[in-house]
Structure 1
């Protein structure tokens, strides 16, 4: 049974949690179809010594739908508004999948509000074949044909299907609002092209983490982004796929803990 975390809401309707305290703030953005609870291991770990804020994407969990067209810059603007509404100054931002694209856009457009950025299972420069496949899925979802089981086949290996992570993600996919999912997936399908040339201008420490078994957010993508960013570093978790923060929580949390120690000024 899913244990729902207590949320607050911003004036514009974004649902979030705010736990822990510390000198720095860590903000977590989940991926399409998920919600705050998908960050459970990281919330538990980092709220011990940081202020941790995690947010439901628009139309996901308890957040209001996006009040604009489902395009990546509008999701980035939504996130920037959240940061302002919470009265936050420079923050550390970690995003997973769709959340990684939002984090990348935030790094590109709001550098003064960023200390460090981490992209978990982020996409970068999809091949034409991969782009065609993801856009076809977006069109199918928009048509109302939302297969809530299909992502599980891409996100988990066969030997992970009896684990707690699989069952949690399965439950979250069953509960997600179909229109909220469709809007976010449309932005996800086209959003990797929006900020892809921005990494050379991002001077904040940037970590790019993925699982070596993730066929859509590949290790090669993480390494290419790390090379493009002046202070980038790639981390590849062996033996895991797309939901690596849940299937390898200790390894991912260790990588994030190391990232949070990187100096923010040279």
Structure 2
């Protein structure tokens, strides 16, 4: 395991501005029984899959897609029950997310991909890499969930998320997003509007309740990333933690990297739970360097 600390500054722009100039498609694809919203960009020989966190949507990676697409075929998608993918009508646990990811790769004819996941996305990436090592090239895990279960954090995520889904007002949406960030100023009006539009869809509040099952102690316990999972991951892995992550201390990321056969740890300062958003330029540079090794 290697450890490095990185410092960067934030630049804040518009989601659409970030995506301008890049040919891309956003469409719904039937994947494993879910009408899944998928963004595809780039024409590289290798595929990079981007996976957002719990209660999130593919726009979480809006500031990284264009530079990634210059080298890779990029797939970013809304998880089951999330974003504009079909609403959940029953609880969704890690085996469901893992199966959906496998079905997505199959639908796009991808035998082997690099996986980059934030929070829940990192959790899914680890579980998938442990179960299907032959289908994973490299892993990038930024503030991944699944290795820690702090009651106060679980309750905070559940209460903020469900409140925002039940009453998708600017105030409640902003409160949920600002919890993710080191600097509340990085929560732009556009980001609030994007999430409010998603959360205000009929049926989304019910879907959120099924998504939030992972904040129940018993459900979370049976879905946690185990020592056996970490031992089974053979892909080179970059674990990114931040100076201001609200989900847990940097030691969590250090422990993950130390347990992996080919783990590397990076600490990014000036970011919370979304380093790919708050410190987009530097996060992207780290990821591209790692993927090119």
Give yes or no for TM over 0.5.
yes
Aligned to 2:224: 194
Task: Tell me, in whole angstroms, the C-alpha distance in 1 between the residues paired with 2:93 and 2:99.
Answer: 10
The normalised TM-score by structure 2 is 0.78
Aligned to 1:61: 83
Aligned to 1:47: 69
TM-superposed CA distance for 1:56, in Å, is 1.0
Cα RMSD (Å) of the superposition?
2.7
- RCO comparison, higher one (Cα < 8 Å, 6+): 2
Aligned to 1:155: 180
- Of the structure 1 ranges 148-157 and 243-252, higher mean CA displacement relative to structure 2 is found in 148-157
TM-superposed CA distance for 1:196, in Å, is 2.7
Contact in 2 for aligned 1:135/1:186 (Cα 8 Å): no
- Of the structure 1 ranges 192-201 and 13-22, higher mean CA displacement relative to structure 2 is found in 192-201
Task: Tell me, in whole angstroms, the C-alpha distance in 2 between the residues paired with 1:133 and 1:49.
Answer: 37
Contact in 2 for aligned 1:124/1:225 (Cα 8 Å): no
What secondary structure sits across from 2:267 in the alignment? strand
Task: Tell me, in whole angstroms, the C-alpha distance in 1 between the residues paired with 2:102 and 2:220.
Answer: 17
| CA deviations over 1:8-52 (Å, ceiling 9, x no partner) | 222232110111111211000111232122211210111112111
What secondary structure sits across from 1:252 in the alignment? helix
Aligned to 1:138: 158
Alignment length (residue pairs): 257
| CA deviations over 1:44-92 (Å, ceiling 9, x no partner) | 1111121111111122232123475321211111111111121111100
**Structure 2: 5+ residue runs without aligned partners?**
1-13
Task: Tell me, in whole angstroms, the C-alpha distance in 2 between the residues paired with 1:203 and 1:171.
Answer: 40
The normalised TM-score by structure 1 is 0.85
* Alignment pair present for 1:260 and 2:287: no
TM-superposed CA distance for 1:145, in Å, is 5.4
Aligned to 1:17: 39
